[in-house]
Amino acid sequence: MSPISKIILSSGALLAVGLPSACGNAVADKPRSAPSTPATHSAATQPAATQPARPAAVAGDAVLAGLSPQQLAGQRVIYSYGGLTPPASLLAKISLGEAAGVIFFNGNISSLDQIRVVIKELQQANKKSPVRAPLLMLTDQEGGLVRRLPGAPVLAERQIGRSPNGMLLASQAGTGAGHNLRGVGMNVNLAPVLDVYRKAGDFLDQFQRSYSGNASRVSQLGSTFITAQQQAGVAATAKHFPGLGAAATAQNTDLRPVTLDLSLPSLRGVDEASYQAAIAAGVRLVMVSWAVYPAFDAHWPAGLSSTIVEKELRQRLRFRGVTVTDALEAGALRAFGTLPVRGVLAARAGLDLLLFSGENVSDGINGASALARALRGGTLGRAAFLTSVKRVIALRTSLAR
């Protein structure tokens, strides 16, 4: 998420404002001495909705065995770049099979026709890759203030949540987002926001990014959006697990560390309810937040916590899809080292995809190299690493036209 990002207004004009998005441009600090292992907390396991079956990973053992550690690492990296033209260094990494995908921001897009041509160029470079699956082409198209492309969805989540016709509007928003992104060749939307806000004007509500303060309402509308968008051929991303709804106005993980000291019953009964519904609806990706939740883990931000990623999301809620970080450049992570260090920590916690969102290709290159070193050196276990790669490649293959 970026504290200074560009948004597309309904008129199509670009405006720079201090608005959080899904990814950002914080500056990394030096590594600190972190706890040796994520903290764990015992809690009774509660039943969760079973996720519909997903396509099996198509990356067979033979394909994976033929990939170098650098190529395996690249399957977990989402790149970003500045300007309207993808740099040669990015095209080279794609051709070598060292990229999972690319995320696009306002500065990458001048028109629908322009970005359509860019995406074709990126996918053409990918044809030389040993991994025969389309690249993931991502953006944030939530609706309202957070849109990278002109057009649908126009309404903000809060507008949809307050309407008596909310279910219809959520379905229309999902369909519109799917058709809009699909029309230019994008296949993943980092939406919807499924956080349940607590007070008017708080962090999410001030930008109209939450459907409601009622967990059931958020669950219904979010699942409707997800179903409609995925039926249009674009994967949806539920964010920001386990929930940023309790964040106060100034609690912005883009800028600074945030701790949400909620009880376990509140987290599971309110914040996670919409994610359970999304998993039951078959959401393809879940983005994990950078806030700290002491009820789960007092030391690590959620996206660096295996307690939250593996035990809560994967085991308790039975999510079988792809997990993705929020922007690794976030100010909330300043105490956790350089971007490459953060990427390794997120991978160790169990996140599949790493978003290098600083609009600098070298960030992704350095991040992939760090992952490869960690894989070769045993810091990251090979079995778990390959499981993540298989999930990512299965998602990519399922999104082929």
| pLDDT tens by residue, 296-332 | 999 999 999 999 999 999 999 999 999 999 999 999 9
pLDDT at 401: 75
The whole-number pLDDT of residue 157 equals 98
Please check whether residue 31 lies inside any domain of the structure: no
Of the candidates 243, 165, 133, the one whose C-alpha atom is nearest the C-alpha of residue 197 is: 243
In a domain, 372, yes or no: yes
Q: Which of the four pLDDT bands, split at 50, 70 and 90, describes residue 8?
A: very low
- Report yes or no on 38 lying in a domain: no
Inform me whether the pLDDT recorded for 166 exceeds 50. yes
Residue 61: pLDDT band by 50, 70, 90 thresholds? confident
pLDDT tier, 13 (very low <50, low <70, confident <90, very high otherwise): very low
Q: Would you state the pLDDT for residue 217?
A: 98
Structural domain includes residue 186: yes
pLDDT beyond 50 at 24: no
Q: Look up the pTM and report it.
A: 0.87
Domain count, the chain: 1
**Of 9-23, 76-90, 325-339, 380-394, minimum mean pLDDT range:** 9-23
Q: For 38-52, 259-273, 339-353, which range has the lowest pLDDT when averaged over its residues? A: 38-52
Within a domain: residue 384? yes
Confidence class of residue 63 from pLDDT cuts 50, 70 and 90? Answer: confident
Tell me what pLDDT residue 15 has: 28
Higher-confidence position of 52 and 377: 377
**Nearest CA among 346, 210, 204, 320 for reference residue 274:** 210
**Model confidence over 169-222: pLDDT tens digits?**
999 999 999 999 999 999 999 999 999 999 999 999 999 999 999 999 999 999
Q: Could you tell me which residues are beta bridge partners of residue 355?
A: 78
CATH at residue 304: 3.20.20.300
Higher-confidence position of 361 and 31: 361
Give pairs for 307-313: CB < 8 Å, separation 24+.
307/38, 307/39, 307/40, 307/41, 308/241, 308/242, 308/349, 309/349, 309/350, 309/351, 310/349, 310/350, 311/40, 312/242, 312/272, 313/241, 313/242, 313/275, 313/286, 313/288
* 109 domain residue, yes or no: yes
The C-alpha angle 193, 135, 343, rounded to 5 degrees, equals: 65
Exposure string over 8-33, b if 16+ CB within 10 A, otherwise e: beeeeeeeeeebbbbbbbbebeeeee
Q: What value does the mean pLDDT of the chain take? A: 88
Between 40 and 259, the higher pLDDT residue: 259
**Domain carrying residue 144:** 5-11+20-25+48-398
Q: How far apart are CA 228 and CA 176, in angstroms?
A: 9
Domain assignment present for 141:
yes
Q: Give the pLDDT mean for 350-372.
A: 98
The model's confidence at residue 60, banded by pLDDT at 50, 70 and 90, is: low
> What mean pLDDT comes out for the span 246-255?
97
- 131, pLDDT greater than 80: yes
**Cα radius of gyration rounded to whole Å, the chain:** 19
> Which tokens hold the place of 136?
């993931």
pLDDT at 110 over 60: yes
pLDDT band at 367 (very low <50, low <70, confident <90, very high): very high
Residue 345 counted as domain residue: yes
Residue 83 structure tokens: 């300007």
